[in-house]
Structure formats: structure tokens, C-alpha cells
Structure 1
Amino acid sequence: MARKEGGSRPMKSTDIETFEQGNDPVPYHPIQNPGLEEHVERYSDAEPAVANRVARQIIAMLALSMLCSILFVVVYFGVPKDLIVEFGPFHSNAQSVLLGLTGGLAVSLIGFSTIHWAKQLMNDTEVIDHRDPIASSDEDHEEMAGAWQAGVEDSGIGRRKVIGGMLAGAAGLVAIPAVVSLADMGPHPGKGTRAATIEKTIWAEGVKLVNDITWKPIKASEMEIGQMINAEPENLEPLAHEDHVEFHRARAKAAIIIVRMNPDSIKVPESRKDWQVNGILAYSKICTHVGCPISLWEQKSHHLLCPCHQSTFDLGDSGVVVFGPAARSLPQLPITVDTEGYLVARSDFTVPVGPSYFERDSRDDYKKGDN
């Protein structure tokens, strides 16, 4: 079958010589192959003094990159987070600006130095690269290994070991700012930190239970059987005016629900006889699965359903899990009444609230069968 003019075919090894000479014996390109352009020697190749000057420039950039990485850490720990700098009509946080400058320069200088190295010092010989099959043969692997070795030799790394060492040092130090920045994710979750933060709320003995919307104290005598109230500790409200961040942290952990059930229809273990007031019980509002807020209350079954993943807790049986992925009971807040009949906490929660985590010892959680 005759091949159409202007069609295409794979390049064969016999075509390489004619390709390099600018001849195209078979018209498989729209235009004749112009061949390789005449090689022009670089100034840095012709003048050793220029090459040495370029090498010094590369070393200087890598040294500056290393210095910027160190300065990033100094700025992170040494510059106050509330320091503000002025830029004419504009202003910004000084630490953020300096971290951006030092971190950005540390990475950018590595990039600039490697580009300068490749353009001025690495091998500048033009080569022809042919397309190969997707699957590689053993011969191709050997050829690739040889090409890699040739590339290493062309880079001049063997003759310019100072550049290689500086590049390795800069690349290693530039990782330090990224590692240091991880500290902003929060305190290290050691046992002591957990005990003082996520395992503790602002509930304490004598703190009143108040409505989470009106902040009004809740009187035990005013609650009806079957009623559920979303509540917070009375000492949370002042934080809303003093420390906005701390307010939301405390609120997320201290949120509770209060329910009243017929005392004859619930199971109260002996160890929790004084945790409730005539069928009124208080539980954490935060699901022990992944921390979703819960408020879907079924009066007849005494079940509380989490809307996220359908974990279901029996509030009539000390908050045990009856369905879903939650792994532990809903923490119960011990409550009583004060001299005026208002509901108050007897103490903080006896176990951590919120999602479970692998380090937490859950031996003190209430389990089915403890009645």
C-alpha cells in the first residue's frame, strides 16, 4: 500500500545521521527537519575565571539560604507575636512578615542557585532524545544507569564538591522552618498537657447550670418529666467579654444537656446515686465518637441520638452506647441543688469529654452491667 505524502512513520536508527545533518529522507513532518543548530560555547566554559566566579555565586546563594533557615527559627521564637510593623498607610504583624521573608528566601535561593548551576556550569552539549517503548528492558535499565552516571559527571559535582555539600546543607536546613511551624498546631499532647487541657473543663463544685441562650439558672422544680435543656456553666459567660478564644474553647468542652425522667424508669448505679436530682441528670453534649454536638432526644426510650453518625446513648442507663460507632459512654456530670433549689455541679466530669483518643485510659468509664 502506498503511503500518503506528508504521512508519519516511526524514526529508525538509520535516520539519525540524516536527521543530524538536517536531511529528512521521508516526509513524515509537515516541514523539512532543520537539524541541530550550531553549538555556541558558553562564556563560563571558555573562561575558567568566569566559571569560578559563577561557582562562588552559587555557594553564596546556598549559604544565604542556610542563614535564612536559621533566621526563620530565630524570628519564630524571638519576635513577639503581637508586634506590629507599619508600611506607610498599611500595617501588618511583624512576625508573619519576617517568617514569610526568611522562609521564602530560604527556598527561593536554593531554586535560584540550582538554575544558575545548570545554566552556567553543567554540561552544555546538545543531545537527541528518541521516544522509547513504555516497558523498559534490562538493556534500557543499564543504559539509564549509565546516563545517570554521565549526568553526575556532567554536573561537575565531583570537581566542585563544595557546591554539592552546600546544596545538601541548604536543602537540609530549609526543612527546619517547616518542622518548627508545626508547633503552631498546639501544645505537644503529652500526658500532663492532656490532663490540663482537653481532659479538664471549667465545671467545678457549686457552679450553676444555666440555659445556653439566656444564661438563666435552672431550677429543679421547674423542669418537667421528658424535658431536655441545653446548658452551660455559669462561669462561662464572663469569658465572652474577657477572652474570646478561651470562651469558645471552654464552651466546646463544657456544653451539656439536662434531661428529666421518671425516677422509676431509669437505672442509676449505686456509685451515682447522688449524681442526679429526682430524675434530673446532666450529660456532656459532645459525642464520644468524633465530637459532634448531640441534642436529638427521644423521651420514651430515653435515647440520645447523634446526628452525624447515629451513635445512640441511653441516658436512662448512665449514658451507655446502645448503637453506632461511639466506643464509650457519654460522660455524666454529677449535679445537685443549692439552698435556693437551683441545679449546680458537684464537681467537674470524672472522665474526659469529647472524642476518644488512643492514649486515654478509659477504665473509669461507666459500662453496661455496672448497675
Structure 2
Amino acid sequence: MAEDELGGELRTANSSDRAVSSGAQDPNVETFENPGMPDHHERVTDTNPQKAKNTERVVTALFWVSLAFTIFAIAAYFVWPINREDITSVRWNSMFVGLGIAFGMLTLGTGAVAWAKYLMKDEEQVEARHKTGASPATAKRVSEVFKQADEESGFTRRKMLRNSLIGAALALPLPGIVLLRDLYNGNNENPVKLMHQTMWDKGVRLVRDPSGTPIKASEVTIGSAFHVIPEGLNELEHGKLDEKAKAVVLLMRLPEDRLKEQEDRKSWSYHGIVAYSKVCTHVGCPVALYEQQTHHLLCPCHQSQFDVTEHCKVIFGPAGRPLPQLPITVDNDGYLVAQSDFHEPVGPTFWERRNDYV
């Protein structure tokens, strides 16, 4: 009896499967009708020509305002210049240039969005998916679509609107071009030679930054690190920041048995005290993080690491060469002094790609 019931259930299940596979509708399955496209609601600018004209004027005004802010950003770069002797002047320059660029982009974007939202046609469309090809019929249809889009957007027809958009968009990159022009100074045609010469010279004392206090060798203990500048830098009236950017040095003392010095450089250190440029050889960031246990220097910008025990060779990161070493000794009073200037250009490696600095 049980086998008959089981066989009946199997026959019922098979019948249901055949009904589904043959397309029969299961009365227990809920069906849905295609709702179709929603009703199109016309905008005020679609029904009222005067409103459309006023909107066009507003959008055009936004584009002209964008152009005005772009010009303001360029003018601000010259009206509020950066004073090398007063670093706080950067604030005003950055603020007004930034405001000009920001509002130029904001008004340009607002105008473009308003044009699309209120003036371009917004009728709902359904486009069936089909294979695309490069047949003549397809090319013809693409041309028709572009013409239709041009007609619906009013790009050709609304000349004042179009011209103001083009003017604002073309002017937008100009502040960047004006700012980037200062990356090259025509008066310094030989940057490698410029970076090769600093205030360091024979007998120039190493002093603390920023106080200018001379440093005795006995004050530099193992594991300590001093931020150092050349004596006389603080007394400069002009070019102080430029000279400091090239001459800043990090002074450290290591156990003498940890130093692995080359024969021709053993005289550059003094009883384990070594001095290296703080300017990273990657892009010029300050290398100011010293790990006294590993004797590694770390650049915080792009994580380049230098081994102080081996003439600050690069052990990690994108830096292209070791940090330049400043040869040092002591004077008759026990103060640390430089033996000479750096023997190579300081800063990013790309300065050395010019071979005519000698």
C-alpha cells in the first residue's frame, strides 16, 4: 500500500514538471503586468517660453561669473604675492587664488547642471538592446542621434549660452598654468649648479635650528639627533628661506663600531658624529624621522628609508640616491664645524640629470 502511495506522489510530481515545461500557468503563482512608462510631467520651462528664456539668462550669467572668478584667481596670484621673507603671506595668496578657482568651478558646474535639468529635453525613452556594428546604416543612425541631441539640448541654437559655456570652460585651466609657470625660473638656467652651492664652507659652525646656538661635540650623545643650520643663516635679510631649504642638516651620533665608512670618507665624521642633508633625494621632503635603535632615517612623504651606518644609502622607497653627507670636524673650542660644502647637489635626484653644471 505504501509503495502505491509513493508511486502516486511521483506521478503527480512528474505531471507538475511537464506542465511547467510545456508553458502551463501555475494558478498558485502571482503574475505582474508591465506597468509601462510613467506619465511625463512637463516642466515650467517646457510650457512657458518666458520662464525658459529667464532660465537661459541665469545659466548664461553663471557661466560669465565662472569666467570672472577664473580671471580673479589669476589676478589674485599677482595682487597677493608670496613674500619669501614673510611665510605668512602664503595664507593670503593661497586663500584668494583658491577661492577664485573654487567658485569658478562651482558656478561652471552649477550652470551646466541647470542647463541639463531645465532646458534640455527630458522625455523618457526606451532603447532596445541590439548588436552594434560599423555598417553604413549604423553610422547614419549615429549621425542622426547626434543631430537630435544637438537639437534637443539647444547647443547650436542657443548661441549666447553655448559661447559663455565655452569661454568659462576654456578659461578654467588658466590659473593652474599661471601658477605652474613659477616651477621654472629663467634666471636660474642651471639648477644643478644652484643646488650644488650652499652656505656650508670650511670652518662654518653647525648651530641649532632655529635658535642658532653652536653645538659642541660633547653635547651630541649616542642616539641623539640635532636639526642643524649653518652659522650666520639667521642674520640673512634676503634669501634666508632659500638658503635654509638647501643647507638644513640632521646631526647624529652613533657607536663608532656601527659605522661602515668608506676609506675616502672616514675623515668626514668625528668620533661617531655624522651630518647628512635633511632634503630627501626623491622630491625634496624633509627627512626628519630618526630611529635610534636601527639608525635609519625616514622620509614621511613617500617612506624612503636611509641607513645612517652606511653613508645613508637607500634601503627602501623611491629615493634615487643616498643623502649627501656634510664633512665635519671640531674647531679649537670644541665646536662642530664643516670641513667644506657638500660634495654633490642636495635635494631631488632629477637635478643631476643635467650634465653641464661643472
The TM-score range, normalised by the shorter chain, is 0.5 to 0.7
Aligned to 1:203: 200
Please show how residues 247-258 of structure 1 align to structure 2 within 5 Å: 250=245, 253-257=248-252
Aligned to 2:39: 37
C-alpha contact 2:314 2:322 (8 A) present in aligned 1: no
**Percent of residue pairs identical:** 24
TM-score normalised by L of structure 1: 0.59
C-alpha contact 2:70 2:171 (8 A) present in aligned 1: yes
Evaluate the alpha carbon distance shift between residue 156 and residue 6 of structure 1 in structure 2; reply closer, same or farther with a 3 A threshold: farther
Q: Distance in 2 between matches of 1:338 and 1:250?
A: 26
C-alpha contact 1:59 1:163 (8 A) present in aligned 2: yes
Greater helix share, 1 or 2? Answer: 2
Aligned to 1:129: 126
Deviation for aligned residue 1:172: 1.1
Does 1:356 find its partner at 2:357? no
Q: Distance in 2 between matches of 1:332 and 1:205?
A: 14
Aligned to 2:166: 168
Deviation for aligned residue 1:166: 2.0
Deviation for aligned residue 1:171: 0.9
Deviation for aligned residue 1:349: 1.2
Letter in 1 for 2:206: L
Q: Distance in 1 between matches of 2:338 and 2:198?
A: 12
Aligned to 1:23: none
Does 1:76 find its partner at 2:74? no
C-alpha contact 1:6 1:28 (8 A) present in aligned 2: no
Deviation for aligned residue 1:229: 6.1
Evaluate the alpha carbon distance shift between residue 103 and residue 357 of structure 1 in structure 2; reply closer, same or farther with a 3 A threshold: closer
Deviation for aligned residue 1:327: 4.8
Deviation for aligned residue 1:37: 2.8
Evaluate the alpha carbon distance shift between residue 175 and residue 233 of structure 1 in structure 2; reply closer, same or farther with a 3 A threshold: closer
Does 1:284 find its partner at 2:271? no
Please show how residues 11-160 of structure 1 align to structure 2 within 5 Å: 27-28=32-33, 33=35, 36-37=38-39, 40=42, 47=49, 51-79=52-80, 98-99=96-97, 101-123=99-121, 126-130=123-127, 132=129, 136=132, 142=139, 143-160=141-158
Aligned to 1:19: none
Evaluate the alpha carbon distance shift between residue 115 and residue 341 of structure 1 in structure 2; reply closer, same or farther with a 3 A threshold: closer
Q: What is the CA RMSD across the aligned residues, in angstroms?
A: 5.3
Deviation for aligned residue 1:284: 1.0
Evaluate the alpha carbon distance shift between residue 67 and residue 216 of structure 1 in structure 2; reply closer, same or farther with a 3 A threshold: closer
Letter in 2 for 1:27: F
Q: Distance in 2 between matches of 1:213 and 1:39?
A: 69
Evaluate the alpha carbon distance shift between residue 164 and residue 289 of structure 1 in structure 2; reply closer, same or farther with a 3 A threshold: same
Please show how residues 200-279 of structure 1 align to structure 2 within 5 Å: 200-209=197-206, 217-219=215-217, 230-233=225-228, 235=230, 239=234, 246=241, 250=245, 253-257=248-252, 268-269=263-264, 276=268
Deviation for aligned residue 1:4: 5.5
Q: SS of 1:162's equivalent? A: helix
Structure 1 unaligned regions, length at least 5? 9-25, 83-92, 366-371
Aligned length: 313
Q: Distance in 2 between matches of 1:110 and 1:193?
A: 41
C-alpha contact 2:328 2:336 (8 A) present in aligned 1: yes
